[in-house]
Structure 1
Amino acid sequence: MVVPLRKDWPHLTIIALMLVGSLIVWPFAPQRVPIHWDISGRPDEYASKLPGLFLLPAVALGIYLLMVLLPNIDPGRANYRQFTTPYYIIRLVILLMMGVVHAIVLLWALGLEVNMVRVLAIALGLAMALLGNLMGKIRPNWFVGVRTPWTLASKRSWVRTHRMAGLTMTPLGLLIALAGVIAPYGWLVLGAILLLVADVIWLTLYSYLVWRSDPERISSIHTTPE
């Protein structure tokens, strides 16, 4: 599968805006820029001006290029043609999330103390809700989706686990986004972590149970997406 870059103008626009934003903020930014925040939304780690303002745009570009490359090196590359639009949206959502984080860094560099925890919880929750609607459309591959030894060893496990992921991720995402608006800081972080961990554990267990019930399953040591 070859990703047509001409159709990726929204992705490239996000990266360009991140870079332009850094260039605009550069003359006004302090020599040390916050790059990490504690659970109360206060910065607790700083970086010098250059990496603080330009590392995220560089990472975003690297992730974009990697995700363009992945369909060409994946042993299950043929399956990407079956979820071209979901893969397009997934790449876009990842870059949007990075753009949100970078925007907060730039605002802090300008002295505008936006609460990272709340904004990130809302953005993460909405991203999860959107991605949840796409999970059932993702076909077997090595890099995207719920990849456990059992989803990779059973098409039935892959399909059903991703449908289940869609059913859990969307409401959990909306709940996390709502918590980002109304929940106290401590409960917000703890609650989001517990919900995400519980979902991962459940989907992992579910993928195993479906694999066990699949008469066409193969040993997980011979996993090859089909």
Structure 2
Amino acid sequence: MNTRQRFVIAAAFVALSAVVSLLAAPELPDQLVTNWGPGGEPNGTMGQTAALALVPGLGAVLLGLFALVPRIDPLRENIASFRRYYDWFVVVFAAYLAVLHTGIVAFNLGYAFDMTLFVLAGVAGLFYYLSILLENAERNWFVGIRTPWTMSSDEVWRRTHALGARLFKLTAVLAVVGLAFGEYAVLFLVVPALSTAVVTVVYSYYLYEQLDGGDPASDV
């Protein structure tokens, strides 16, 4: 399967979101619930037209940006080396948006379920595949853990992403475990995700200072 075929799959998920909107519109109220609190309680609404157009429109725009990134990155040859993983992330992300949109529509059609837990489960799956992408990403300007230190050294990039991949997998697992804790489930995602962000930034700086006395010349 090549890049074009993978992007066709991603586009199909975007189109599916639009189809869901068109089919459900006649049965939906003028105002749709689009926000939920940690305990799954609705706490925000949006007009029907805007709510039904948001995810399909956003998906289409992001799909275009995802297609553009490998063409404009100054290190595009590095993206080419992990292009398969990048493309599948685009597919997974488009699928996540389609599932999220379908869940929002289903909730507003009267189906009873905890939307917050539904979203968290989807984000856990997205984070898990993100960890796979990070494991395989080479240095570039758009995809991965981009700090001044990872961008200055291939070795710092590689080792930081190896750690980041493990931490994102752990975050995904903890998010799934958190689904059993009701209104506290959000913490099982947010706390590990923020911790991962802080740890990887600090770790990349530490590595940069330790390797070759912080001289990037031998790695770039």
Both structures adopt the same fold (TM-score exceeding 0.5): yes
Deviation readout 1:63-85 (Å, 9 max, x if unpaired): 01101001111111111110011
Give the corresponding residue for 1:158.
Answer: 157
Give the corresponding residue for 1:183.
Answer: 181
Deviation readout 1:59-115 (Å, 9 max, x if unpaired): 011001101001111111111110011101111121122112211111122122331
Deviation at 1:57, TM superposition (A): 0.5
Give the corresponding residue for 1:144.
Answer: 143
Please give the residue correspondences for 1:189-204 in structure 2 after superposition, counting only pairs within 5 Å.
189-204=186-201
CA contact (8 A) 1:176 1:192 kept: yes
Give the corresponding residue for 2:26.
Answer: 27
Q: What is the percent sequence identity of the aligned residues? A: 24
What is the one-letter code of the residue matched to 1:140?
R
Deviation readout 1:100-133 (Å, 9 max, x if unpaired): 2211111122122331211111111122122213
Distance in 2 (alpha carbons) for counterparts of 1:214 and 1:100: 44
Deviation at 1:4, TM superposition (A): 4.2
CA contact (8 A) 1:125 1:177 kept: yes
Structure 2, unpaired ranges of 5+: none
CA contact (8 A) 1:14 1:99 kept: yes
Give the corresponding residue for 1:210.
Answer: 207
Give the corresponding residue for 1:109.
Answer: 108
Provide the aligned length of Structure 1 versus Structure 2: 217
Moved over 4 A (4+): none
CA contact (8 A) 2:137 2:144 kept: yes
Deviation at 1:140, TM superposition (A): 0.7
2:35 alignment partner, SS class? strand
Deviation at 1:137, TM superposition (A): 0.7
Deviation readout 1:180-199 (Å, 9 max, x if unpaired): 2x1121x2112321111111
Q: Which has the higher helix share?
A: 2
Distance in 2 (alpha carbons) for counterparts of 1:131 and 1:25: 31
Q: CA RMSD in A?
A: 1.9
Deviation readout 1:18-48 (Å, 9 max, x if unpaired): 0000000011010001111111112211111
Distance in 1 (alpha carbons) for counterparts of 2:108 and 2:36: 13
